Amino acid sequence: MIRPANLQILRFAIVGGTVAALYVLLYLAFLGLGLPQPLANAFAFILAVVVQYVGQSWWTFRQPLRAPDQMVRFGCTIGLGWLVSALITGLIGPGLGWADWLAAAVVTVVLPIQNYVIFRAWVFAGAGQQ
């Protein structure tokens, strides 16, 4: 039998993987529709973040969707993730002589761990372990 905490991590990973795939598909679709790259990226990112909030709130952490404080904490966590990814790919990686792919790979490992810890401890604090 899978422990409740492990089920929560599994749900977190499923939502995260689905959102990542959705972002790529939306980004490519928007580019295919002729949107400029910055707009395609922004629209795909915003839609992916909305889906992530719904999935992580409702399914992973079993919390209500209409919780303004929770939404703000979620937004702060997403902003922190963007900052960390920018630091790794734009400053730390180049400073250490990493190839672009290596810096991006580090981001794909660091951000899910960072997000899960912050989601569990702060954004969705007190979330059920169902």
- Distance (Å, whole) CA 44 – CA 46: 6
- 66-85 in b/e burial notation, b at 16+ Cβ within 10 A? eeeebeebbeebbeebeebb
**pTM for this model (two decimals):** 0.90
Rounded to a whole number of angstroms, the CA Rg of the chain reads 16
Name the token pair of 23.
């972002």
Give residue 129's pLDDT: 42
Mean pLDDT by 10 residues, the chain (130 residues): 89 97 96 96 96 98 94 97 96 97 96 97 73
Domain segments of the chain: what residues? 1-64, 67-125
124 near 56, Cβ under 8 Å?
yes
